[in-house]
A and B are shown apart, each in its own frame.
Chain A
Amino acid sequence: MSERKIVFYTRRAIFLLTAVVVAIPLLVKIEMPVVVGWPARNLYEAVERVPPDKIVVVSISWSAGSKGETAPQTTALIRHLAKSGKRFAIWSFSDIQGPELAQAIAAPLADEYKRKYGVDWVNWGYKSGAASMMRGWAQDIWGTIKEDRNGTPVAKLPFMQKAHSYKDIGLIIDISAGSLSGTPTFRYYVQFLKGIYNVPVGCACTGVMAAETFPYLDSKQIVGMLRGLAGAAEYEELVGFHGEGIRRMTAQSFAHLFVIALIILGNVGYFLGKRRSAQSPSPQEQQK
């Protein structure tokens, strides 16, 4: 078999093995322990601190493409809000699909904990306008939102009677999978809500975004953070409900161990190959 063919089939074999490694912990009951980190714990405690007269805004800045990470985060966060009786509003200023996908998560959870739509929680839908809209929204929620995703005017929603401006917001959590005009979505809240009105902001982001989000934790511009699927699992542990996050983390850990093994194997192969080529005589030496 030619070297080209070996490389071709080796790569495909790795893809197939990855699928097998991920599938095994999903099919067999194996659960690995979840260690809760301080960024997740801080976010959990920030939610707990929200007083009953204030609302929590859950900003859905993700779409179907990142559902694998952000849906378990959204589920864990909304479960906590519904369970603890916090009044919450769902919306998005960056992703059109976001409020629809979150509705599918929030509605059954609200039913489970007997939270009434329009009273305990609302879905404001998608609102465009980014930074300029957000500045207006902070000062006049009614004037910016106007109606919820079902087309009900805000004046008719009992929830909205205590939601007029930033003064009524106890916490904003942006579940973020990307950026809007090159700026990660949670930074809009940092700039215009935390920076101007000192409204607490939390963030649940994808694993890719985690590294660049950490400085905002250090500077206390965000109160806490969930990092990808691991963050969702940590939050589930804190809420006391073992859901998709914890279930998937076992498969995730298996995949990581497999990747580490491949990295070691690849490096061993590389150095052995290098040593062999150093020991074998060069073409010039062979000619002599």
Chain B
Amino acid sequence: MSNPDLLVVWIGAICTLAVYSILYRENPVFRFFEHLFVGLATGYSVQTVISQILVPQWGKPLVVEGKWYWIFALLVGAMFYFVYSKRQVWIARWAMGLFIGFGAGLGIVGFVTEFVPQITASFKPIVEFSTGRLGFNNLLIFLTLIAVMSYFFFSLEHKNRALSGSAQAGRWLLMIAFGAIFGNTVMARVSLFIDRMQFLLFDWLKLPHPH
């Protein structure tokens, strides 16, 4: 390993251990590295926005390729800054209105193309007509849907036996779903920890890799 690589590994290890020091208790070392990360991420983003967006996607067409109409992008962008002026705030509102309208239009398209197929896919037969067999999964989806919806039905007091029973079942089913989501979250967090652990054990401490 070359010297620069070694330095990178050491910096990585110190950063990792500094961040994990919060597990013992809040301390100034953790706070310093926390701020360092925020600063680094912001600096990296600013640099990338300039080098990968502003220069190639706006500056180059405008200056090098002579596409003068790209100047309007700057003008519309600059309109947003009138939000700081009490008298000329209407200029910023025009720009915002333009973008909100644009976003809403795209949003409607996205909603239709995303959710209509899902609604259609949820219309599943409980009994398969071709075979006459009971579709257990579809029945489960149907019962879960009814139970959970009844839990969130607040127009009637849950005194009726059928409604309260269904709402109770809906609550239990929701708990199972939350458990599944939480289980996946635990898996995700442990995965991140394993990644750091591997880095510390094999890249930094250079312990022999058994695999």
Contact = CB atoms under 8 A, between A and B. Distances in A.
Q: Are A and B genuine complex partners? A: yes
Contacts of B106: 131-132, 135
Nearest to A244: B198
Nearest to B119: A219
Given A23-B197, A210-B184, A252 B56 contact: no
Nearest to B56: A147
Interface of A is mostly: helix
Given A67-B195, A69-B191, A256-B190, A195 B113 contact: yes
A29 B210 contact: yes
A218 interface: yes
Given A96-B44, A146-B56, A68 B195 contact: yes
Nearest to A15: B23
B88 interface: no
Contact of A27 (B23, B184, B210): B210
A22 B57 contact: no
B192 interface: yes
- Which interface class (under 10, 10 to 19, 20 to 34, 35 or more) fits B? 35 or more
Contact of B44 (A97, A125, A248): A97
Interface in A196-222: 196, 206-208, 210-211, 215-216, 218-221
Contacts of A206: 188
B27 interface: no
Given A125-B52, A219-B118, A220-B121, A26 B201 contact: yes
A49 interface: no
B28 interface: no
Nearest to A19: B197
Contacts of B44: 96-97
A255 B191 CA distance: 10
A255 B118 contact: no
A198 B23 CA distance: 48
A276 interface: no
Contact of B187 (A128, A131, A252): A252
Nearest to A96: B48
B36 to A, nearest CB: 14
Contacts of B90: none
B185 to A, nearest CB: 5
Interface of B is mostly: helix
A154 to B, nearest CB: 12
B186 A259 contact: yes
B83 interface: no
Most B CB contacts (10 A, CB to CB) among A31, A128, A191, A248 go to A191
B53 interface: yes
Contact of B114 (A18, A27, A190): A190
B187 A229 contact: yes
Interface in A20-40: 22-23, 26-29, 31
Nearest to B196: A68
A146 B49 CA distance: 16
Contact of B102 (A71, A132, A208, A215): A132
Contacts of A247: 211
16 contacts: A19-B197, A65-B192, A69-B188, A96-B45, A96-B48, A96-B52, A126-B52, A128-B53, A195-B114, A207-B185, A207-B191, A211-B184, A229-B188, A252-B187, A252-B194, A255-B194
Interface of A: 12, 15, 18-19, 22-23, 26-29, 31, 65-69, 71, 96-97, 125-128, 131-132, 135, 146-147, 149, 151, 187-188, 190-192, 194-196, 206-208, 210-211, 215-216, 218-221, 227-230, 242, 244, 247-248, 251-252, 255-256, 259
Given A26-B198, A218-B121, 4 more contacts: A125-B52, A195-B110, A221-B114, A255-B193
Interface of B: 23-24, 44-45, 48-49, 52-53, 56-57, 102-103, 106, 109-110, 112-114, 117-118, 120-122, 177, 180-181, 184-188, 190-198, 201-202, 207, 210-211
Q: Please give me the 4 A-B residue pairs with the lowest Cβ-Cβ distance, nearest first.
A: A195-B113, A68-B195, A207-B188, A219-B121
